Structure 1
Amino acid sequence: MGSYLNPGGGMFKACLRSKIYVDKSGLIAKTNEVLGTEQRFVCVSRPRRFGKSMAANMLAAYYGRGEDSAELFSALRIHTDKSFREHLNQYDVIRINMQEFLSAAPDMDEMLKLLQKRILRELKMQYPDYIDSDYLVFAMQDVFAYTRHPFVILIDEWDCIFREFKQNMEAQKKYLDFLRVWLKDQEYVALAYMTGILPVKKYGSHSALNMFTEYSMINPREMAEFFGFTEEEVKELCSRYKRNFQEAQAWYDGYELVAIEEGRKKTYSMYSPKSVVDAMLSGIFDNYWNQTETYEALKIYIRMNYDGLKDAVIRMLAGDKVQINTGTFSNDMTTFQGKDDVLTLLVHLGYLSYHWPDKTVAIPNKEVSQEYDISN
């Protein structure tokens, strides 16, 4: 096992050993459905502290060929799914966190060189007889040609470039071009699963990674129940820890996610996982979010009353909903055509909840409302 190639189940074991673990293994059944199909490219975007890395660790433990991980899943829901044994430990997994490489390199060119170097090093150690190229794509093509074991590629924090290199369009384009060449139309990809806060970046009217199916806070589709803690899960935790459910609801509920399942609309009332866990363990209902540089930057637009944005926020703080058009958002931190684009970004960041039936946004709960400071 390596750090990136078949990293094993160590990180997922830590999740299972935690004082509170909520079983989200049903996600595996969803990804099993798209393995090796045209829908094998999955991008899941949701706010910080909503369990994105935990999901990636679970998928790495399940799919990776480095070890037998059946015991880790023996008490989880996925264990009874008909696809469980078929795909368990059958793939070479590459698991990376883009933030790690971004933090270690001075620019995009060096970051991409470092990423390829580190992955290639482990591929060559595992398959020394099959690789004679220092180009990652060719190396993976060669490994697959000889082994016929396809890859599951898990990319966490895929969008960190767009949050840290907000104005550097050249760096963003190089990054997206790399991902497209590495992943698109490659037979060796059984599944590409990316997580981040932002959906896939658009260029003009087209997406540079248009092969991905996106699951976001605006359109979670059939992944909705895995985006956070459901109401039933929070009720069970409140019962176990003897906490007041109504307080938990007021502090952390409010994310309304709508999915179409088996032809029927189903609405999930979604809670912020990290905040619920902290409240259950401490017994104190409080604000467990910390304001970030991302939101500090957005305050500039709010205070300028950009296209009436501050007025909209004031209305929502008073309990109103605001109509929104999400269609013009470019999935970045800088390209705003009007207040609707800023409000859409706030949905992806978790500062607003999107109500699909009437296309409105609102401040979801007490915790998030305390994050807003609209003073001049």
Structure 2
Amino acid sequence: MARKRYPIGIQTFSEIRKGDYLYVDKTEYVYRMTHADAKYMFLSRPRRFGKSLLASTLHAYFEGRKELFEGLAIANMEIEWEQYPVLHFDMSLGKHMDKDALNRYLHNMLQNNELRLGIKTRDVEDTNVRFTNLIMDIYHQTGKQVVVLIDEYDAPLLDVVHEEKDLPVLRNVMRNFYSPLKACDPYLRYVFLTGITKFSQLSIFSELNNIKNISMEREYADICGITEEEIKRHMKEGMDELADKLQVTHDEVLDALKENYDGYHFTWPSPDVYNPYSLLNAFSDGRLNSYWFGSGTPTYLIEMLRKYNVLPSEIGGIEAMAADFDAPTEQMESIVPLLYQSGYITIKKGDPQMEIYLLDIPNKEVRVGLMRSLLPNYVNRQVRTCNVTVAKMSLAISEGRMDDALRLLQTFLGTVPYCDNTDYEGHYQQLMYIIFSMLSYEVDVEVRTPHGRVDMVLKTRSKLYLIELKLDRSADKAMEQINLKNYSDRFALCKLPVVKVGINFDSKKGTIEDWKIETA
């Protein structure tokens, strides 16, 4: 049987169903959401994780389009299929706008909904008045309560989340627009909002304090994204095709997909969740690539990393309470909520009773993409040449040729124009961390031992490297410290050959001066 087409870039439920595209059935969640106690719901997930498709599925469900749901889980659950008028707002295009442009955008969306539902347009200046009128007119014209779906509610605010000047202005515009959701409560059947970040209810939704946030609810853990069980059930043909193209076994292709695109958890315990955008693109193209990260690294993230002075090595391995990361971004005291809600770190394990969780980078695609985004800060924009160097270093290290890898790095850094902040050891430590992370190896900095801390530990499939860095001293001094403090004893049980590496950087030249390598 021929496989179904993959819905690349298609976020409309009716188009997927009518076009016979692959659809991973999430309709059980639709029934659960719409028959729950809560009338107002909010779901936070990273970009391109299926939030828009979920909103579109809700749209079709509330319009009573029973024929689109034949063969899906909800077909055996829903009996009535009652029809409701649906207002659907997609805020994703409301980016990079000032106050006036954003107001025009909101008016345009209100007009589109008026035309679609046959409601006479009223000439009013304020969006909240027009929104209120629209809900009331629909209710009086149809005698039905209204469903309101707001997709990517926070999109107009994300690009200014780091700006103290513009954020309050645009936030007031959005708060004004959303205000009818409280006043029109008797006329509303259901309200669902999606977004990436969690803004405080006070700042965006004014008095609307009854929104149920299902983002960390265990029963909705895999409402967006694709689980391994769903891959095996729905994508067997795609797995076979990809294995053939990559010339690997079925198990090996699953391992590769897992390494690159899996690892997300939005609560704990939770099944592993794969990034659906990257996964479907990999199946469609027949190769592994950086699809999600390549589709756009938000500038606000890089700006916020700078604002909070976050070092590359500090992005993962974070212990935090739920209130520290499932928190309003405009009140955050660290970068953690934004990193988590944007999908750059995720829950790796946790204690739900204590609400303490370990957060880390989910997979190879995100780790490599993040490090590439941060690399220009350390190599003075010489990214293209550095990417070539990193690729060659990867081959050398995989073959156990650390000496050749360091020679490649020495040559590259010797050709990079002068970069700021190169007069302290930490600059080179973070540079090495970024490069080794881009090689997709396990790497950590400041690793504790009984006798002190190792500057860097690099683990490959065949070796464990203990790396000590010095600045304007000597490789002998670096090696002397490794041997003096017996760092290798700490890793005796790792079952890998331990290699000691001492590296000395020259701050004036901005590159490696000398190095020394010994087997433990």
Q: TM-score, length-normalised on structure 2?
A: 0.58
Deviation of 1:291 (Å): 4.8
Q: In structure 2, do the counterparts of structure 1 residues 273 and 103 end up closer, same or farther at CA, with 3 Å as the change threshold?
A: same
Q: In structure 2, do the counterparts of structure 1 residues 85 and 220 end up closer, same or farther at CA, with 3 Å as the change threshold?
A: same
User: Is the aligned partner of 1:285 residue 2:288?
Assistant: yes
User: Is the aligned partner of 1:156 residue 2:158?
Assistant: no
Alpha-carbon distance in structure 2 between the residues aligned to 1:31 and 1:271: 22
Cα-Cα RMSD? 3.1
Counterpart mapping for 1:48-127 below 5 A: 48-64=47-63, 69-81=65-77, 84-86=78-80, 88-100=81-93, 106-123=100-117, 125-126=118-119
Alpha-carbon distance in structure 2 between the residues aligned to 1:30 and 1:79: 13
Which digits, 9 at most, give the CA deviation of each residue in 1:348-376, with x for residues without a partner?
Answer: 11111124424111111111111122442
Alpha-carbon distance in structure 1 between the residues aligned to 2:13 and 2:230: 20
Task: Answer yes or no: is the 8 Å Cα contact 1:93–1:153 preserved in 2.
Answer: yes
Alpha-carbon distance in structure 2 between the residues aligned to 1:272 and 1:204: 30
Alpha-carbon distance in structure 2 between the residues aligned to 1:79 and 1:42: 23
Pick from 206, 222, 225: which aligns with 1:225? 222
Indicate the residue corresponding to 1:262 in structure 2.
Answer: none
Structure 1, unaligned stretches of length 5 or more? 1-9, 260-265
Alpha-carbon distance in structure 1 between the residues aligned to 2:138 and 2:292: 44
Q: In structure 2, do the counterparts of structure 1 residues 331 and 77 end up closer, same or farther at CA, with 3 Å as the change threshold?
A: same
Q: TM-score, length-normalised on structure 1?
A: 0.78
Indicate the residue corresponding to 1:267 in structure 2.
Answer: 270
Q: In structure 2, do the counterparts of structure 1 residues 188 and 101 end up closer, same or farther at CA, with 3 Å as the change threshold?
A: farther
Deviation of 1:27 (Å): 2.1
Task: Answer yes or no: is the 8 Å Cα contact 1:155–1:195 preserved in 2.
Answer: yes
One-letter amino acid matched to 1:251: N
Q: Which has the larger radius of gyration?
A: 2
Task: Answer yes or no: is the 8 Å Cα contact 1:252–1:271 preserved in 2.
Answer: yes
Task: Answer yes or no: is the 8 Å Cα contact 2:159–2:299 preserved in 1.
Answer: no
Alpha-carbon distance in structure 1 between the residues aligned to 2:266 and 2:153: 23
Aligned-residue sequence identity (percent) comes to 24
Which digits, 9 at most, give the CA deviation of each residue in 1:320-346, with x for residues without a partner?
Answer: x321245256533x65423xxx12211
Alpha-carbon distance in structure 2 between the residues aligned to 1:193 and 1:205: 15
Alpha-carbon distance in structure 2 between the residues aligned to 1:136 and 1:159: 18
User: Is the aligned partner of 1:141 residue 2:136?
Assistant: yes
Alpha-carbon distance in structure 2 between the residues aligned to 1:112 and 1:204: 18
Q: In structure 2, do the counterparts of structure 1 residues 360 and 104 end up closer, same or farther at CA, with 3 Å as the change threshold?
A: closer
Structure 2, unaligned stretches of length 5 or more? 1-10, 125-129, 244-252, 379-520
User: Is the aligned partner of 1:299 residue 2:302?
Assistant: yes
One-letter amino acid matched to 2:222: E
User: Is the aligned partner of 1:257 residue 2:266?
Assistant: yes
Alpha-carbon distance in structure 1 between the residues aligned to 2:28 and 2:111: 34
Which digits, 9 at most, give the CA deviation of each residue in 1:300-321, with x for residues without a partner?
Answer: 4546772x654423xx4xxxx3
Pick from 227, 232, 236: which aligns with 1:235? 232
Task: Answer yes or no: is the 8 Å Cα contact 2:263–2:274 preserved in 1.
Answer: yes
User: Is the aligned partner of 1:350 residue 2:348?
Assistant: no
Q: How many residues align?
A: 335
Q: In structure 2, do the counterparts of structure 1 residues 201 and 18 end up closer, same or farther at CA, with 3 Å as the change threshold?
A: farther
Which digits, 9 at most, give the CA deviation of each residue in 1:165-201, with x for residues without a partner?
Answer: 4332022123123212234552111111111211243
